[in-house]
Amino acid sequence: MLDVKSHAPHDALRVLVARFDPCVIDVPRGRARIRLQVGSEHWDAFLQDGGVELVPADPRLAPDALLSADEETWRRVAGDVRGGMEAFRKRRLEVRLNLHLGVGFLAATSGMTDPGRLRFDSVPTAEGTISILSAGSGDPVLCVHGLGGTKASFLPTVAALADRNRVIALDLPGFGESDKPLSAPYDAAYFARSVFALMDSLGIERAHLIGNSMGGRVAIEAGLLDRRRVDRIVLLSPALAWLRERRLKWLLQLPLPRLGLIQPTPRWATEPIVRSLVPGGADGWAAAGVDEFLRSYLTPRGRAAFYEAARNIYLDEPHGENGFWTRLASLSCKTMFVWGRRDALVPIAFMKHVQRTLPAARHVELDCGHVPQLERPRQTHEAVREFLP
């Protein structure tokens, strides 16, 4: 049961709300309820029309995001303009449900005013509206998430590189807060065109790309489609075309109905299954990542995009004139691959095939699974900083 005492809110929360800057947070539907937990007390920051009001939490109303920490952590957050993000990175402050809104609230109440501060935006592009978070200044770096992920999976990367680069993490179409068109092909070429469309809207002619999992496949495709617009590429456990037989290929090539649009997917049934499949899915970064996945997957359009993108990864042809491995040999961008020795989705055994195909590529091995930037952030970002000019 929430504590909804009628006394005044904690001083730290009043300080944060007084610093609220609507220019750095994107509230997609114009209003949001951010629940703030201080020990056993709960208050809601209600965002609407560019303003914020702090009210006692109403247990009958579900929040869009939940931020929780002890009293001392909230005092530090209020007393230091960088305190919110620092507490979040060190896991003293937990953000759950919607990371776009939760972390956006931290950015909007940080009190920072420099041009390179963390901010969230919705950007109209030729491929629809794309949601981004960005920070820093300098040569642009675009970060592309994996299947079922969102831009939030690159928050540590943005923090690690923003002192010398303009770092932009995006929600691919079909995921997170970006548009989810039903007619989109959701394949690597489509996603790569979406990255270029975002660059056009932001006035970026050329950028470095960092991609994790499916985002790595998108970064490779972008480098193959237009070498002039892509500088260096960092591939974190990238999705690569399968080299072994795909027994379900015949089935997935059939004109199947868009299962995601009609599939009954109640949260009470879906969430326990997803959390059980993700190691540590009940707490920490893994739990927040599951929150992000469920936000899209529990919507019909989000499911349709997820299934179509997953099908295209599975059907990626390895050989032939237009096969992935045939085309990969022509990738001329300077490229670094980061592999997880415990990655069950993209086994490190793929590295030998990449070495044969791209002998000039750099390789880094880490003791981690499929998401190096979250599992081994220090080693991953040290390697990235060394690789980028």
Tell me what the mean pLDDT of segment 6-15 comes to: 76
Where helices occur in 80-187 by DSSP H, the ranges are 83-89, 99-108, 155-161
Phi/psi-derived region of residue 12, left when phi > 0, alpha when psi is between -120 and 50, beta in every other case = alpha
pLDDT (tens digit per residue) in 65-96: 999 998 888 888 887 656 667 777 777 888 98
Confidence band, pLDDT 50/70/90 cuts, at residue 223 = very high
Cβ atoms of 143 and 170 within 8 Å: the answer is: yes
* Token couple for 347: 């086994």
Amino acid at 161: L
pLDDT higher at 126 or 256: 126
Query: How is domain 11-108 classified at the architecture level of CATH?
Result: 2-Layer Sandwich (3.30)
Give, for 273, the enclosing helix (H) or strand (E). helix 267-277
Tell me what the mean pLDDT of segment 133-155 comes to: 95
- Whether 283 shows a pLDDT value over 80: the answer reads no
Residue 32: predicted pLDDT: 96
Distance from C-alpha of 273 to C-alpha of 63, rounded to nearest angstrom: 23
Distance from C-alpha of 260 to C-alpha of 262, rounded to nearest angstrom: 6
Alpha-carbon separation of residue 120 from 23, 99, 204 (angstroms): 9, 11, 17
Alpha-carbon separation of residue 21 from 24, 26, 270 (angstroms): 6, 11, 36
Confidence band, pLDDT 50/70/90 cuts, at residue 4 = very low
Tell me what the mean pLDDT of segment 125-148 comes to: 96
- Whether 46 shows a pLDDT value over 90: the answer reads yes
Distance from C-alpha of 170 to C-alpha of 388, rounded to nearest angstrom: 20
Residue 1: predicted pLDDT: 43
Residue 297: predicted pLDDT: 81
Residue 280: predicted pLDDT: 52
Distance from C-alpha of 31 to C-alpha of 65, rounded to nearest angstrom: 12
Tell me what the mean pLDDT of segment 248-267 comes to: 55
288: number of Cβ within 10 Å: 24
119-387 CATH pick, 3.40.50.1820, 3.40.50.2000, 3.40.50.300, 1.10.3680.10:
3.40.50.1820
Length of the chain: 389
Domain ranges of the chain: 11-108, 119-387
Distance from C-alpha of 32 to C-alpha of 19, rounded to nearest angstrom: 17
Residue 257: predicted pLDDT: 43
Residue 364: predicted pLDDT: 97
Place of tokens 């193959």: 224
15: number of Cβ within 10 Å: 16
Tell me what the mean pLDDT of segment 192-199 comes to: 98
For residue 24, report the phi and psi dihedrals to the nearest 5 degrees.
-110, 5
- Whether 191 shows a pLDDT value over 90: the answer reads yes
- Whether 251 shows a pLDDT value over 70: the answer reads no
Residue 180: predicted pLDDT: 96
pLDDT (tens digit per residue) in 367-381: 999 999 988 999 999
pTM over 0.85: yes
